[in-house]
Copies of this chain bind each other. A is one copy, B any other.
Amino acid sequence: MAMIVITKNSVSDERIGEIVRYIENTGVQAHVSKGTDRTVIGIIGNAMPTLAEHLRSMQGVENVIKISKSYKLASRDFHPDDTIIDIKGVKIGGSNLVIMGGPCAVESPEQIDEIARLVKAAGGQVLRGGAFKPRTGPYSFQGVGVEGLIMMAEAGKKHGLLTITEVMTPEYVDICAEYADILQVGTRNMQNFDLLRKLGTIQTPVLLKRGFSSTYDEFLNAAEYILAGGNPNVMLCERGIRTFETYTRNTLDLSAIPVLQSLSHLPVISDPSHGTGRRELVEPMSKASVAAGANGLIIEMHTDPDNSMTGDGVQSLFPDQFAKLLKELEQLAPLVGKEFATAKAPADAFVEWIK
C-alpha cells in the first residue's frame, strides 16, 4: 500500500531523517519533497496498512494519507468486468434487474406459501423472509427459527423462486445455507468479522447489507473479508444510513449505487423498505433506485401487514401495490439499460388475492 506523509510546519531536517529511516526500516522506499513550510514524504511499495497508523502517531507528522485502497478483490481496479452471479439460472449483476420480495418474517407455512405465489405472479425471482430476527429489544418476537427456513424453502421450490434469509451468527451459516439460496448479512452485522470469515468458507451467494453508519470504504472492506476467504459470490445492498433526519427510518443513499458500481465489480441491490421505513415511499424510491442503476431490489411485501408479527408492516407493500410496482419497473428498466425478463403468471393471482 502506497501512502504519503505530510509533516507539521517547520519540522527539523533531523526529525525528517528519523521518519525516513523508520519508514525504510519496514522495507519500503521513501521519497522526500520539501515545501516552503511542510515536507511531503511519499511511500512507494508494499507497505503494511498499519504503517500509516504508526507514522500518524510520530512526532512531527501532521497527517498520513493512504493512496491505494485497502481492499483488492472487491475493487474494480483489478477486476474491470461486472461480476454476474448465476443461481439456478437467475443471473444477478450486469444488465439484469433482479427483484426479491417477501415478508419481514416467516410466520406460518400458509403465510409464506401465499406470499411466494404472489411474488412469483408479480414477476419476482427471489423470495425473502426472516427465520431468525435481530431485534433491538429482548422482549420482541425473535423469529420462528429453523422451522421457518424449511417453510420458506418449500414455498420457494413450489413456486419456482430462489430464497434469501438472514444469518446472524457463524454457527447458523451451515444450516441456513442448506435451506436458502442466498444468505443475507444484516446491517448490524456488517462488521461481525467472525460471521464474514465463516461466509468466506462457503460458496453460497451472500447479500451483504451496508452498516447503517458505514462508509463505502468500510463496506467494501467488509465484502473483502468474504472474498478473501474464497467466496466470490457477494452482492452489496444499500439499505439506508443513519442521519439527523428522523422522519424516515433511515436516509436511503442512492448515490451509493453508482459509486459502489464504479469502485467495485460486485452487484448492487437497493432496499427501499428498510431504507425509508414507510410504505408510501417504497414505490418512488424503488423507481429511483432502478433509475440510478441498481442491479436489483429487495422489497417487503405482506398479505396482512397490519398483523405482521414483527411490526414491520408499516414498510411492507400490499400484494397489489407490489404487482403494480413491478409492472412499472418493467417499463423503466430498459431506459437505463436493464433487462427485467421473467415470465409472469396470469393476472388472476391478484384478482384472487384481492378477493
Contacts and interface: CB of A to CB of B under 8 A. Distances in A.
A350 interface: no
A54 B313 CA distance: 6
A170 B259 CA distance: 35
Interface stretch (A106-114, A121-129, A148-156, A283-291): A283-291
A169 interface: yes
A305 B33 contact: no
Interface stretch (A84-92, A174-182, A215-223): A215-223
Interface residues of A, number: 111
Interface string A99-142: 00000000000000000000000000000000000111111110
B40 A36 contact: no
Contacts of A229: 138
A320 to B, nearest CB: 15
Given A137-B49, A194-B169, A246-B246, A57 B279 contact: yes
A66 to B, nearest CB: 10
A193 B170 contact: no
Interface string A190-232: 0111101100000000000000110111100110110011000
A44 B33 contact: yes
Contacts of A56: 314
Given A170-B169, A258-B280, A40 B38 contact: no
Nearest to A252: B255
A339 interface: no
23 contacts: A22-B306, A33-B33, A34-B44, A42-B42, A50-B309, A51-B311, A57-B314, A65-B65, A134-B193, A136-B191, A138-B196, A138-B224, A168-B194, A188-B191, A213-B242, A244-B244, A248-B255, A252-B254, A255-B276, A262-B280, A288-B288, A291-B332, A335-B335
Interface string A234-255: 0000000111111110011111
A251 B255 contact: yes
A82 interface: no
A312 interface: yes
Interface in A160-177: 168-171
Given A40-B67, A138-B221, 18 more contacts: A2-B36, A35-B42, A50-B140, A52-B311, A57-B305, A57-B306, A57-B313, A58-B306, A136-B218, A138-B196, A212-B213, A215-B247, A241-B251, A248-B259, A258-B285, A259-B281, A288-B292, A332-B335
A24 interface: no
A324 to B, nearest CB: 13
